[in-house]
Chains A and B, each alone.
Chain A
Amino acid sequence: MYFIKGNTMNKNKNVKRVLGWMGVFAVLFVLLLLTHIVIMVKRMPILANPTLQLARVDFKEPLDSLSIGQIRNKVVSQKGVKSTYYNQRDDILIYTFDNRLNNARTIYDNAIVPSGYASVRYVVTAKDLQQGCPVMSNDSFYGKLTALVAKIVK
Chain B
Amino acid sequence: MKTKIRNILTGFVIISGLIFASACNKHNDDNPALATTPLYDTLGWFIQGAMGPVEGNGTKMIADPDNQGAQIQAGRLAIRTVVNKALGVIAGDPKLAQYFPALLSEVGAGNTTGLAKLLESFTDFVQQATSGQPIYNGKSMKVVHNHATYDRFGSNEHPTADSADFDEFIGDVVKAAQSLNVPNSVIGQLGVALVSVEGDVVQDK
Contacts and interface: CB of A to CB of B under 8 A. Distances in A.
A124 B115 CA distance: 14
B78 to A, nearest CB: 13
B27 A43 contact: yes
A60 interface: no
B116 A50 contact: yes
Contacts of A83: 88
Contacts of A133: 99-100, 102-103, 118, 121, 144, 152-153
Nearest to A87: B92
A46 interface: yes
9 contacts: A43-B30, A48-B64, A48-B116, A48-B119, A49-B119, A50-B113, A53-B107, A56-B91, A135-B114
Contact of A100 (B16, B110, B114, B138): B110
What DSSP secondary structure best describes chain A's contact surface? mixed
Interface in B108-162: 108-121, 138-139, 144, 150-155
Using C-beta atoms within 8 Å of the partner chain, give the interface range for chain B.
Answer: 35 or more
Contacts of B119: 47-49
Contacts of A51: 109-113, 116
B196 interface: no
Given A124-B104, A132-B102, A134-B139, A100 B150 contact: no
B120 A47 contact: yes
Interface of B: 8, 12, 16, 19-20, 23-24, 27, 30, 64, 66-67, 70, 80, 84, 87-89, 91-94, 97-121, 138-139, 144, 150-155
Nearest to B122: A133
Interface in A109-154: 122-124, 128-136, 138, 147
B101 A128 contact: yes
Contacts of B64: 48
Closest 3 CB pairs of A and B: A48-B66, A128-B101, A87-B92
A47 B116 contact: yes
Interface stretch (A6-14, A69-77, A90-98): A90-98
